[in-house]
């Protein structure tokens, strides 16, 4: 059975527990929330003896199975986490650890009634061709935490604030999402200081977010992309200088810029071919929020402009790697050349 994280958290906290869980995905915040909720089902005084955690990259699965098949120590349940079960993926991992996968298969088919076995799989997907995975899909509760939409992200934020009876203005919530690239873990990490700010007023406004939440490098580069495409040479050069002054490596800035323009080109081409925002995110394996911003951006620019910027940045990267010229000067030259060429072309 497959369920989402919100459904899983609700059933787990209600004490409705499954014998086997697979937590599949790369959203660390949700993985931590689920792990914490499961651990809380074991009384605190029993956790030392009845909660086990095993990393499959360093420990044979047989050790975890021995624990899982043991009776609880003066308690009702045993909780066993199997971390990094790479043998469920198509990854050919080089390791000296020998895993008894036949015994694991047998356990999946006949799980121990008093044990909750949790496979923490921080991967985008499992190898559906493998017998172990086929059995898990029949026997386990599958919780997928790969992609979190902007709407879901905002619901998690709202729920966390509701618990503290704190309100957040709509524009403040949107700015919080913008400044953290829509990354749920980053957003939740910013909430404590915003809650402290709102301790008396019980209200988080736009000014609070702007004052307390620093823009991520990716968000700053996204602003830089807009400056480039709108021919705003001076603001672009000033922002580039600020990033370098903040100890961001020029090659890193350029690499993220290239990545942004590559994404814009892909979204432009695929959107014209009829891809929706959701299908773009899954096909390109990109966070839905990044795809949303890209779709909003490419509506205003033609493919030729995006391609010219991308090729110009490729040339800039090559010069950064092969010459001793000042990276800030190289970026400024890129801007001047790009703006002149595009104005001539139009």
- DSSP-H helix ranges across 180-326: 184-197, 206-212, 217-229, 233-245, 250-272, 277-284, 288-298, 303-322
Taking Cα atoms as reference points, which of 104, 43, 103 lies closest to residue 73? 43
Looking at domain 150-212, its CATH class is mainly alpha
Q: Which tokens sit at 178? A: 């913008």
Cα→Cα distances 299→17, 292, 303, 307, Å? 47, 11, 10, 15
Q: Which tokens sit at 63? A: 């050790």
Query: Along the 346 residues of the chain, how does pLDDT read in single tens digits?
Result: 888 898 999 999 999 999 999 999 989 999 999 999 999 999 999 999 999 999 999 999 999 999 999 999 988 999 999 999 999 998 877 778 889 999 999 999 999 999 999 999 999 899 999 999 999 999 999 999 987 888 889 989 999 999 999 999 999 999 999 999 888 989 999 999 999 999 999 999 999 999 999 988 888 999 999 999 999 999 999 999 999 999 999 999 999 999 999 999 999 999 999 999 888 988 998 888 889 999 999 999 999 999 999 999 999 999 999 999 999 999 999 999 999 988 887 6
Taking Cα atoms as reference points, which of 161, 157, 154, 156 lies closest to residue 289? 154
User: Where exactly are the structural domains of the chain?
Assistant: 2-144, 150-212, 217-345
3-state DSSP assignment of residue 329: helix
- Cβ-proximal residues to 242 (8 Å cutoff; 6+ apart), any chain: 220
DSSP letter at 174 equals H
Q: Is 285 exposed, middle or buried (0-12, 13-18, 19+ CB in 10 A)?
A: exposed
Whole-prediction pTM = 0.75
Q: Which tokens sit at 242? A: 């600020």
3-state DSSP assignment of residue 205: coil
Q: Which tokens sit at 221? A: 């580069």
Q: Which tokens sit at 222? A: 């996204």
Q: How many CB atoms lie within 10 A of CB 293?
A: 23
Q: Which tokens sit at 88? A: 């469920």
Asked if domains 150-212 and 217-345 share a fold, the reply is no
Q: How many CA atoms lie within 13 A of 113 on its CB side?
A: 0
CATH number of 217-345: 1.20.272.10
- Which CATH superfamily, name and number, covers 2-144? P-loop containing nucleotide triphosphate hydrolases (3.40.50.300)
- Asked if 27 contacts 148 with a C-beta cutoff of 8 angstroms, the reply is yes
Taking Cα atoms as reference points, which of 205, 193, 163, 141 lies closest to residue 4? 141
């Amino acid at each position: 059975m497959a369920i989402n994280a919100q459904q899983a958290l609700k059933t787990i906290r209600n004490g409705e527990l499954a014998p086997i869980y697979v937590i599949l995905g790369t959203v660390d915040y949700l993985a931590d929330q689920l792990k914490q909720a499961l651990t809380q089902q074991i009384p605190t005084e029993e956790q030392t003896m009845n909660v086990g955690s095993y990393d499959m990259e360093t420990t044979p699965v047989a050790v975890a199975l021995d624990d899982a098949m043991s009776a609880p120590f003066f308690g009702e349940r045993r909780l066993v986490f199997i971390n990094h079960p790479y043998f469920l993926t198509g990854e050919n991992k080089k390791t000296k650890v020998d895993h008894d996968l036949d015994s694991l298969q047998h356990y999946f088919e006949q799980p121990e009634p008093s044990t909750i076995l949790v496979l923490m799989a921080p991967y985008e997907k499992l190898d559906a061709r493998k017998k172990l995975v086929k059995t898990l899909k029949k026997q386990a509760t599958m919780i997928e935490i790969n992609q979190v939409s902007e709407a879901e992200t905002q619901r998690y934020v709202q729920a966390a604030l509701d618990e503290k009876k704190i309100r957040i203005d709509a524009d403040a919530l949107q700015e919080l999402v913008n400044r953290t690239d829509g990354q749920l873990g980053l957003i939740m990490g910013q909430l404590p200081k915003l809650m402290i700010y709102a301790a008396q007023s019980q209200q988080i406004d736009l000014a609070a977010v702007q004052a307390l939440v620093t823009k991520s490098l990716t968000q700053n580069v996204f602003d830089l992309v807009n400056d480039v495409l709108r021919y705003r040479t001076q603001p672009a050069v000033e922002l580039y200088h600020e990033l370098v002054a903040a100890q961001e490596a020029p090659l890193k800035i350029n690499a993220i810029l290239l990545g942004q323009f590559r994404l814009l080109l892909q979204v432009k081409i695929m959107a014209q071919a009829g891809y929706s925002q959701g299908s773009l995110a899954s096909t390109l394996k990109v966070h839905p929020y990044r795809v949303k911003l890209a779709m909003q951006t490419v509506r205003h620019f033609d493919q030729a402009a995006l391609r010219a910027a991308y090729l110009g940045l490729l040339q800039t990267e090559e010069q950064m790697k092969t010459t001793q010229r000042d990276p800030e000067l190289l970026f400024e030259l890129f801007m001047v050349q790009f703006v002149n060429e595009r104005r001539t072309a139009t």
